[in-house]
Amino acid sequence: MTSDTFDPDVFLQLGRDVLQRQPFSVLLGAELTHLMPGDVELQLPLRDDLKQQDGFAHGGVVSYLADNALTFAGGTAMRVPVVTSEFKINYLKPAMGERLVVRAKAVGVGRSQTVCRCDVFSVLGHEETLCAVAQGTISKRGDAPPA
Amino acid sequence: MTSDTFDPDVFLQLGRDVLQRQPFSVLLGAELTHLMPGDVELQLPLRDDLKQQDGFAHGGVVSYLADNALTFAGGTAMRVPVVTSEFKINYLKPAMGERLVVRAKAVGVGRSQTVCRCDVFSVLGHEETLCAVAQGTISKRGDAPPA
Amino acid sequence: MTSDTFDPDVFLQLGRDVLQRQPFSVLLGAELTHLMPGDVELQLPLRDDLKQQDGFAHGGVVSYLADNALTFAGGTAMRVPVVTSEFKINYLKPAMGERLVVRAKAVGVGRSQTVCRCDVFSVLGHEETLCAVAQGTISKRGDAPPA
Amino acid sequence: MTSDTFDPDVFLQLGRDVLQRQPFSVLLGAELTHLMPGDVELQLPLRDDLKQQDGFAHGGVVSYLADNALTFAGGTAMRVPVVTSEFKINYLKPAMGERLVVRAKAVGVGRSQTVCRCDVFSVLGHEETLCAVAQGTISKRGDAPPA
């Protein structure tokens, strides 16, 4: 795909195809709702089986969303096959509501690594509440072990 | 439970009860295989629907295991209701094999916060391969937002 | 200081007084150039003795700036004595130029913990280059060990 | 240096030479007290000008030690020129006493990246107190931006 033929709809569809080839993302029900190079939004309707014992989304669901969003942001920023090298997440508030939304952006794009940040929001009706923030490194495959 | 009545089997069973009340842990199939104060082991048989597009466990599965193990380690070290404040994970190798095992320990126990570390291993037969390491903070509930 | 008497100049001066009482900040030569609740900027002229063997600012200088900026942002957001519980930093580019600038903001303010993010820039003339990003937790003193 | 000529004393001296070429490490007074591939110990006598306003070592001093120890551990594990890509540190207790000691080990050695962990201790007389733990990624130079 060269820059003169860049088609945002095709790009988003390619991303959705990747997401659908991740059985775990299908199990959880994640949806790719925005994708541009280094800029991604994923959504996840909050089902009961994604929760912990207090009725909030399990921390592992929130970290899954962060991990996946960072990886899509880094991969589309570098346009090469990538793996997630590492990330760090801070939980701010209980993740709840009808769905979770995560928005990730590449903040430092390198030749073999890209550093990305993301924000995870609880969504209820039209209201979004920031519930977690994360930051991590996405590496070109071959330069780091796959994850 | 006072120290003179500490019963390891009862303690483990109490932990298993907590895990069973987490619908997301039930969905993934996590098992609590060791639990002492500040010292925990969880296992997860690797089903196909826990994988990503290359046939390895999804990073979100590995981060779920790390998150949960850190939280059990911190919660049992402090013996109070807790939430995960934050953690950081480095992926070292593809997570694969028959099952994943995570072992977490409390390394710094405070009044309101405990810092824990964990190692995640891929298990195939009798062979364990270190595939991720994590470190995070578990906070007494009320001192931090629930996650 | 009640909200009706909030004076930005007094607030900045109070922050500068704190910085001057940190011998290590004096040794390095850090300057507080902006301070509002949860919003801070520190600058550091790059002397030769702050560098590593390749002529760039030592990573420890960059992490000092991140640590301090996150702490000022968290402390002024909560308006209580605080300690830094933890942070994570990604180095993006060599830190060089005439000075470093770090800008931190509180992104999740809680009763006993505040999560902050910061960006560190190399400055040469009027040009700023993002060289590191960090994210961390600032805790109310007493709720976490001092650091 | 080939494996059949490996001389621990020469190896340590080479490490000390690198440390002495870091002006910031000289300013702080860091000493390399142990060095083997992927296994390092640094010490830092605690001078007053390394402290913050409460008389403890400044968090930036502790993070400098962690950063440098992780880098030496990663660099000697891979035996190539390296840069620190990222690290995360949790402060457990105030860093004080006569000196600080940091011990780092490589826990996952890859072709282009090595993940390391370290523990920072306060030392008073013969007593060591764990005051911080860190984990980070060291990258082969050229695969990541220098830091």
**What fold characterizes domain D3-140?**
Thiol Ester Dehydrase; Chain A (3.10.129)
Side-chain-side CA neighbours of residue D108 (13 Å): 28
**pLDDT greater than 90 at residue C133:** yes
Length of chain D measured in residues: 147
Counting one residue from chain B and one from chain D, the pairs whose CB atoms sit within 8 A come to: 43
| A143 confidence band (pLDDT: 50, 70, 90) | low
Average pLDDT over residues C91-119: 97
| B146 confidence band (pLDDT: 50, 70, 90) | very low
Q: Containing H/E element for C86?
A: strand C82-91
Interchain contact, A144 vs D85, CB within 8 Å: no
| B147 confidence band (pLDDT: 50, 70, 90) | very low
Q: Residue A144's pLDDT is what?
A: 54
**pLDDT greater than 50 at residue C147:** no
Distance between CA atoms of residues C122 and D83, nearest Å = 17
pLDDT per residue as tens digits for the range D45-72: 999 999 998 999 999 999 999 999 999 9
Interchain contact, C133 vs A117, CB within 8 Å: yes
Mean pLDDT of chain A: 94
Average pLDDT over residues C138-142: 91
**pLDDT greater than 60 at residue D145:** no
Q: What percent of chain D has pLDDT over 90?
A: 90
Greatest CA separation for chain D: 51
Mean pLDDT of chain D: 94
Q: Where are the domains of chain D?
A: 3-140
Task: Return the partners of chain C (3 or more C-beta pairs < 8 Å).
Answer: A, B, D
Nearest chain D Cα distance for residue C1, angstroms: 21
Q: Residue C146's pLDDT is what?
A: 44
Of the candidates C108, C111, C118, which has an alpha carbon nearest to the alpha carbon of residue C68?
Answer: C118
Higher per-residue pLDDT: D36 or C141 = D36
Interchain contact, D108 vs B117, CB within 8 Å: no
Q: Residue D43's pLDDT is what?
A: 98
Burial of A128 (0-12, 13-18, 19+ CB in 10 A): middle
Distance between CA atoms of residues D147 and D135, nearest Å = 16
Q: How many CB atoms lie within 10 A of CB B60?
A: 29
Higher per-residue pLDDT: B80 or D142 = B80
How far is Cα of residue C16 from the mean position of the Cα atoms in its chain? 12
Q: Residue D147's pLDDT is what?
A: 43
pTM: 0.95
Average pLDDT over residues D29-33: 98
Alpha-carbon distance values, C17 to B129, C21, C25, C62, C78 (Å):
52, 6, 11, 22, 18
pLDDT per residue as tens digits for the range B115-145: 999 999 999 999 999 999 999 999 999 765 5
**pLDDT greater than 80 at residue B40:** yes
- For residue B28, list chain A residues with Cβ-Cβ distance below 8 A: 60
Q: Residue D146's pLDDT is what?
A: 44
Q: How many CB atoms lie within 10 A of CB C48?
A: 9
Distance between CA atoms of residues B15 and D129, nearest Å = 30
Give the 3-state secondary structure of chain D: CCHHHCCHHHHHHHHHHHHHCCHHHHHHCCEEEEEECCEEEEEEECCHHHECCCCCECHHHHHHHHHHHHHHHHHHHHCCCEEEEEEEEEECCCCCECEEEEEEEEEEECCCEEEEEEEEEEEECCEEEEEEEEEEEEEEECCECCC
The end-to-end CA distance of chain D, in Å, is 26
**pLDDT greater than 70 at residue B88:** yes
Average pLDDT over residues B50-61: 95
**pLDDT greater than 70 at residue B82:** yes
Interchain contact, B144 vs C88, CB within 8 Å: no
Q: Complex ipTM, two decimals?
A: 0.94
Tokens coding C131: 């060289």
Distance between CA atoms of residues A118 and A83, nearest Å = 17
Q: How many CB atoms lie within 10 A of CB A34?
A: 15
Q: What percent of chain A has pLDDT over 90?
A: 90
Interchain contact, A113 vs D88, CB within 8 Å: no
| D3 confidence band (pLDDT: 50, 70, 90) | low
